[in-house]
């Protein structure tokens, strides 16, 4: 299966020949970029899609434009949710639970990157609080809606290679703040969340995977200046292994493809608990240093014991047991 798809595969390539009529999917962060394309592609293949967004007007405009440009009209319902506010997260989850409709696929897509030091509404460091803790509470609260055979896909990133989680100081109370260290911590947490969620739910036939979508020029990088983006790419290229191809952006449909590959196309046992990139399961790679990002996943982002520790710390931080 993995050999059929790769770096350049798009959402339409991955879903070619697949009819999702009768399936229900949920995608967080559908106001721009990967979330919009993920929701569009699922709806185009027949799925009933629920998308979440902090700004519903922006999300509706983006979804309508994407569906109009692609000539598809599948229904995509919207729910308001701000992942940086656990009150908003819990309210959205409560509405979905009250509605009682099951889901065959949940894609935890939304996130922020490399933002200045700040706090969520609940006092958590912005990136860890938004990217990990918001999704941790939301997904666990709707887990009962996931049908047998359903899948959870959590968007991690090659940026997990920047830093492991710090369970002693998750909010940088005693550690000097660095934008990409904070981002790396949150993306490692995303991968570990998928590991432990998969362990807890696989007996119900529900599997979870994390994915690196690739480098895509989207609103995710809005906190970076053009100069800082160019400097980062130059450093990545300088640290790539000798003979490796230079960094290049994916298109949005290429970036969203791995989420759909892991969530729909790939065999459940192949991706359950694993980290995926370029429409295949990634290899363990602890060798590269710096910002090389040449592929693979750090072992600390796949360690089951580490994942259980993060789960317990996350429950402690949000004041809720799952």
Structure tokens at 112: 């922020």
Residue 238 CB burial class (10 angstroms; 0-12, 13-18, ≥19)? exposed
- Give mean pLDDT, residues 45-52: 96
User: Residue 295: its pLDDT value, please?
Assistant: 83
Residue/partner pairs of 267-273 with CB below 8 Å, 24 or more apart: 267/1, 268/149, 268/151, 268/205, 268/207, 269/207, 270/1, 271/151, 271/207, 271/209, 272/198, 272/202, 272/207, 272/208, 272/209, 273/194, 273/195, 273/198, 273/199, 273/202, 273/207, 273/208, 273/209, 273/302
Q: What is the pLDDT of residues 119-153, one digit of tens each?
A: 999 999 999 999 999 999 999 999 999 999 999 99
Taking the C-alpha atoms of residue 49 and residue 281, their distance in angstroms, rounded to an integer, is 26
**What is the average pLDDT across 7-16?**
96
Instruction: Tell me the C-alpha distance between 297 and 292, whole Å.
Output: 12
**Confidence at residue 231, expressed as pLDDT on a 0 to 100 scale:** 66
> Cα separation of 130 and 133, whole Å?
6
- Among 2-6, 127-131, 157-161, the range with the most confident prediction by mean pLDDT is 127-131
> For residue 217, what pLDDT is reported?
75
Q: What's residue 193's pLDDT?
A: 99
- Interstrand relation of 207-212 and 275-277 (parallel, antiparallel or unpaired): parallel
**pLDDT of residue 276 exceeding 60:** yes
Number of other residues whose CB lies within 10 A of the CB of residue 199: 16
Kindly state the tokens that stand for 264: 């729909």
Assigned CATH topology for domain 2-317: Rossmann fold (3.40.50)
Residue 6 pLDDT level (bands cut at 50, 70, 90): very high
Quote the pLDDT of residue 243: 66
Query: What is the model's pLDDT at position 75?
Result: 84
Q: Which residues contact 284 (CB under 8 A, 6 or more apart)?
A: 296, 297, 298, 299, 302
Active-site annotation, residues: 183
Mean pLDDT of 97-115: 97
Residue 229 confidence class, pLDDT cut points 50, 70, 90: low
Judged by DSSP in three states, 146 sits in strand
Is the pLDDT confidence value at 220 over 70?
no
Q: What's the whole-number average pLDDT of the chain?
A: 91
29, pLDDT greater than 60? yes
pTM attached to this predicted model: 0.91
Three-state DSSP at 210 gives strand
- Confidence category of residue 100, pLDDT binned at 50, 70, 90: very high
Predicted confidence at residue 106, as pLDDT, reads 99
The pLDDT of residue 72 is 65
Quick one: what percent of the chain has pLDDT higher than 90? 81
User: Where is mean pLDDT largest: 3-7, 29-33, 218-222?
Assistant: 29-33
**Does 73 have pLDDT greater than 80?**
no
Residue 248 confidence (pLDDT): 73
């Amino acid at each position: 299966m993995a050999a059929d798809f790769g770096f350049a595969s798009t959402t339409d390539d991955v879903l070619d020949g697949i009819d999702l009529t009768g399936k229900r999917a949920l995608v967080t962060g559908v106001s721009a970029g990967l979330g919009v394309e993920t929701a569009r592609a699922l709806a185009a293949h027949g799925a009933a899609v629920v998308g979440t967004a902090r700004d519903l007007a922006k999300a509706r405009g983006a979804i309508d434009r994407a569906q109009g440009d692609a000539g598809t009209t599948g229904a995509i319902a919207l729910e308001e949710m701000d992942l940086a506010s656990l009150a908003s997260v819990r309210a959205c989850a409560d509405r979905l639970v009250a509605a009682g409709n099951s889901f065959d696929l949940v894609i935890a897509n939304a996130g922020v990157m490399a933002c200045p030091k700040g706090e969520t509404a609940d006092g958590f460091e912005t990136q860890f609080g938004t990217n990990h803790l918001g999704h941790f509470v939301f997904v666990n609260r709707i887990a009962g809606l996931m049908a047998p055979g359903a899948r959870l896909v959590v968007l991690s990133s090659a940026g997990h290679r920047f830093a492991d989680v710090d369970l002693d100081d998750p909010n940088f109370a005693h550690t000097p703040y660095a934008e990409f260290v904070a981002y790396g911590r949150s993306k490692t947490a995303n991968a570990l969340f998928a590991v432990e969620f998969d362990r807890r739910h696989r007996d119900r036939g529900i599997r979870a995977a994390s994915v690196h979508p690739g480098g895509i020029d989207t609103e995710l990088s809005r906190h970076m200046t053009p100069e800082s983006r160019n400097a980062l790419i130059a450093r990545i290229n300088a640290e790539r292994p000798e003979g490796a191809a230079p960094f290049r952006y994916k298109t949005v449909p290429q970036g969203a493809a791995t989420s759909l590959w892991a969530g729909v196309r790939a065999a459940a046992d192949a991706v359950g608990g694993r980290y995926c990139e370029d429409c295949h399961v990634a290899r363990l790679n602890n060798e590269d240093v710096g910002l090389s990002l040449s592929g693979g996943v750090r072992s600390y982002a796949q360690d089951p014991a580490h994942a259980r520790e993060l789960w317990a710390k996350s429950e402690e931080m949000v004041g809720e047991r799952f």
